[in-house]
Amino acid sequence: MKIIISPAKSLDFESKVPTNLYTQPRFLRQSEKLNKKLKTISKNKLSDLMKISDDLASLNYERNQTWETPFSTKNAKQAIYAFTGEVFRGIDVSSLENKKLPILQESLRILSGLYGLLKPLDLMQPYRLEMGTKLKVGSTENLYKFWDDTVAKALNEELEDGELLINLASSEYFKVIPKKVLKVPMVTPVFKDFKNGEYKIVMTYAKKARGLMVRYIIDHNVKTIEELKGFNIDRYRFSEEMSTGNELIFTR
């Protein structure tokens, strides 16, 4: 089983990592090309391009200027320990047994505007570049065009015939993977809360639930859709009647 998730805007490059294991991002050459472009963008233009505050623009301008290869544990950090958003709080890698880290490394993939596709133990340097950013690089007008079907092809190379691909990424990041290129069907879990008389997606809760499902899959070595339907963390339950096709609905 392979699982895809989105990255997080919030990062932690201060805390120590409880493992010496690491790998290198597969698409560093493309990342270098993107960073070369980012280095030419001023703080003011970064603020406009990314729709962020002046303080965040200054922070990310400095990140862009100091970003460099090669990556090592002295200037970079493993992705699963660097991202700290709601999805990653749900995964809670700090409490994961060391013996399960290889399973996480094998199963989980993190989509990224700068790195394309990251394994959990891939080293990365701090950045901010959302997939929806309209950054023109060479002849490509945005990041979706830049990554084209690169990410989907990479996933195809890893996926075995009949293996499940679980989409726990946001729609912004999911769009970078053309469905027609994938060699296996994609299953998308959706999390809804009962609010004001109806079930709806509450984004903060949904993000946390995506992370909880990643952790559930790793902890229980889930291999099938039926096993996936058994997810019952944080009061979520699978809803057969609300689910359709490859979209699995979990409610609470």
Residue 181's pLDDT is 86
Task: Report the Cα 2 to chain-centroid distance in Å.
Answer: 12
* Residues of the domain holding 224: 2-251
- Could you tell me the CA-to-CA distances from 120 to 49, 66, 143, 150, 175 in Å, in that order? 28, 23, 22, 19, 21
Number of Cβ within a 10 Å radius of residue 168: 26
Residue 190's pLDDT is 98
pLDDT in tens, the chain (252 residues): 999 999 999 999 999 999 999 999 999 999 999 999 999 999 999 999 999 999 999 999 999 999 999 999 999 999 999 999 999 999 999 999 989 999 999 999 999 999 999 999 999 999 999 999 999 999 999 999 999 889 999 999 999 988 999 999 999 999 999 888 889 889 999 999 999 999 999 999 999 999 999 999 999 999 999 999 999 999 999 999 999 989 999 999
State how far the Cα of 221 lies from the Cα of 69, in Å rounded to an integer.
35
Number of domains in the chain: 1
111 and 210 in contact (C-beta within 8 Å)?
A: no
